Amino acid sequence: MSAIRQETAEDWWEVEALYDLCFAPGREALSSYRLREDVSPVAELCLVMRDEANILSGAIRYWPVKVGAHPVLLLGPVAVHPTSQGEGVGGGLIRHSLIVAEEHGWTRVLLVGDAPYYARFGFEKRSDVIMPPPTNPDRVLGLALQPNAWDGVCGEVCKYTRA
């Protein structure tokens, strides 16, 4: 049986290798990555799934960003090893991480992704949220973890900086 747990420092290189395997070269040039530069991920939401043999099946990370003055979680990247695709690894990581996010007091989540895939988790297009270019606005999706969490939250997504 597979197990989900928080990513540790010992997992880092293996997780990075998985992201390299699953995503095209140059992934770090995407707007989402620019929002992550020099910002620490939300550690309790950086999760890995390993199978019975302790082989990495998938990984997910989250980053703090702001939309206007409002804190928002930026989901991604999430990756599933090619040998584990179609087994529910990605969905399991997303569902579990959203529960943990809510338990830690987060109220809203943002991502750039495929609307038909992420709609099953409740994500909807956020036409009032503007990701830095180049981002297809149709792929900017949000999820409210609490009722009305997106009310009044609009504008440009920017790096999260601590005061």
CATH code, domain carrying 57: 3.40.630.30
Each residue's pLDDT tens digit, 43-100:
999 999 999 999 999 999 999 999 999 999 999 999 999 999 999 999 999 999 999 9
Question: What is the tally of structural domains in the chain?
Answer: 1
Q: Looking at this protein, which amino acid is placed at residue 42?
A: V
C-alpha 121/C-alpha 143 separation (Å) is 8
C-alpha 114/C-alpha 121 separation (Å) is 12
Distance of CA 10 to the CA centre of its chain: 20
pLDDT at residue 33 is higher than 90: no
Single pTM value for the model: 0.92
Mean pLDDT lowest among 31-35, 60-64, 103-107:
31-35
pLDDT at residue 111 is higher than 90: yes
Please tell me the predicted confidence (pLDDT) of residue 36: 80
C-alpha 68/C-alpha 123 separation (Å) is 20
The residue segments making up the domain with residue 40 are 3-159
Portion of the chain with pLDDT greater than 90, in percent? 81
Closest by CA position to 145, among listed 115, 88, 103, 117: 103
Spatial contact of 135 and 111, defined as CB atoms under 8 Å apart: no
